[in-house]
Amino acid sequence: MLRRKEMFDADARDYHEYKYTELVGQLDCHSFASRQERVLRLLPDRVDTAVDIGCGSGAYLPLLARRSQFLVAMDFSREMLKQSRASYGEVCDQFVEGDAMRLPLREQCMDLLICIGVLEYLPDPLACLREVHRVLRPGATAVLSVPNSQSLWRLFEQCVGPITRRCRRLVGKGHEGLGMDAARRTLFSVRSIGTLAEQAGLHVRDVEYYNYRLPCLGGLSTTMSLGVTRRLERLRKGRWMRWVSGGLVIQCRRPGTSPEEAPLTRNCIEILACPADKSPLTQSRAGMTCSTCGREYAVDDGLPAMA
Ligand SMILES: C[S@@+](CC[C@H](N)C(=O)[O-])C[C@H]1O[C@@H](n2cnc3c(N)ncnc32)[C@H](O)[C@@H]1O
Ligand SMILES: [Zn+2]
């Protein structure tokens, strides 16, 4: 875990530029933009509380801020949090260092949770989904995104990707890439992520596919590959999409209905909890203290350290 954290800390400075700035990695950027567009379709219009688990450089925070009254950004990489706060500090109410598999959030405190491009890096994705279920209010929505194991392009990439990337770099057409791009990731099919979500007590309501790619084209020409991808992506529904889309976006719901009069959240102390026993915290001189086990969590420069 610690090594993973260090890897994301090291990638934090370049992450936004590599993944969300058109000129650096055209195909990566297209894939991230198309994912955002799909996520947007699955977000509810208006909620009280929302959280972005594994917020990275914060690209989703402005989208969530428009829909929520109280927004929390969480990541286990402090460097990622610093980057996201520098860019989106004005739109997000609280940045917290926390672990996706042991969320430092109280039970049933969130109306909306997103977890985009994170589950694939976790040693135990089911633990994370169980936490998602725990912190959602009954009837609340989670939007998750994972890489698609059925994508023919991904299968092809696993075999020849390292060679084509090398060739592209040699002819000066590639970028170095981030540490996280080379890290081991779990791929999920619609069925496997659906089963995990159901095991955690969530109901899968909708699936969107994004980043359509055909094997071989990527290695030959970026422009050609992007052209085909864009054309294919105009089509949105159909069983064949699972073979061409690099990633999946899943909308889930915690079953049940919330009482209509849930109090509005205005302060992070109302929603944060001790990650060990999920008990409420009280503000203390050191930062925050658990009311049950007495553990202290430092708040340094406004960032609670609860990972
Ligand atoms: C590929 S980035 C995705 C960032 C952002 N969600 C986006 O879509 O641009 C993965 C993020 O998950 C975070 N992450 C990885 N493992 C985590 C964990 N166990 N708990 C919390 N965050 C984690 C990393 O620090 C990184 O910021
Ligand atoms: Zn505690």
Q: pLDDT, tens digit, for every residue of 237-273?
A: 677 888 888 899 999 999 998 776 666 777 888 899 9
164 vs 51, more confident: 51
pLDDT at 223: 73
Query: What is the percent of the chain with per-residue pLDDT over 90, rounded to a whole number?
Result: 61
The pLDDT of residue 218 is above 60: no
6 to 76, 174, 176: CA distances (angstroms): 10, 24, 18
- The arithmetic mean of pLDDT across residues 143-154, rounded, is 92
Domains of the chain as residue ranges with CATH: 2-267 (3.40.50.150)
With the most atoms of ligand 1 within 8 angstroms of its CB, the residue from 43, 64, 76 to mutate is: 76
Q: pLDDT, tens digit, for every residue of 65-106?
A: 999 999 999 999 999 999 999 999 999 999 999 999 999 999
The pLDDT of residue 236 is above 80: no
* Ligand 1 pocket residue status of 54, Cβ below 6 Å: yes
Q: What's the mean per-residue pLDDT of the chain? A: 88
Instruction: Compute and round to an integer the Cα radius of gyration of the chain.
Output: 20
Q: pLDDT, tens digit, for every residue of 11-33?
A: 999 888 888 876 555 667 788 88
Count other C-beta atoms under 10 Å from residue 246's C-beta: 22
Encode 136-172: b = buried (16+ Cβ within 10 Å), e = exposed. Answer: bbeebbbbbbbbbbbbbbbebbeeeeeebbeeeeeee
pLDDT at 148: 95
pLDDT at 91: 97
The pLDDT of residue 208 is above 80: yes
- The arithmetic mean of pLDDT across residues 288-300, rounded, is 94
Task: Using the mean position of ligand 2's atoms as its centre, give its distance from the Cα of residue 219 in Å.
Answer: 51
pTM over 0.85: yes
- The arithmetic mean of pLDDT across residues 217-231, rounded, is 70
Query: What is the percent of the chain with per-residue pLDDT over 70, rounded to a whole number?
Result: 89
With the most atoms of ligand 1 within 8 angstroms of its CB, the residue from 74, 75, 119, 129 to mutate is: 75
Question: Whose Cα sits closest to atom 13 in ligand 1?
Answer: 54
* Ligand 1 pocket residue status of 233, Cβ below 6 Å: no
Nearest CA to 154 among 231, 214, 80?
Answer: 214
The pLDDT of residue 142 is above 90: yes
69 to 110, 169, 171, 231: CA distances (angstroms): 11, 45, 49, 37
Q: Which atom of ligand 1 is nearest to the CA of 115?
A: 6
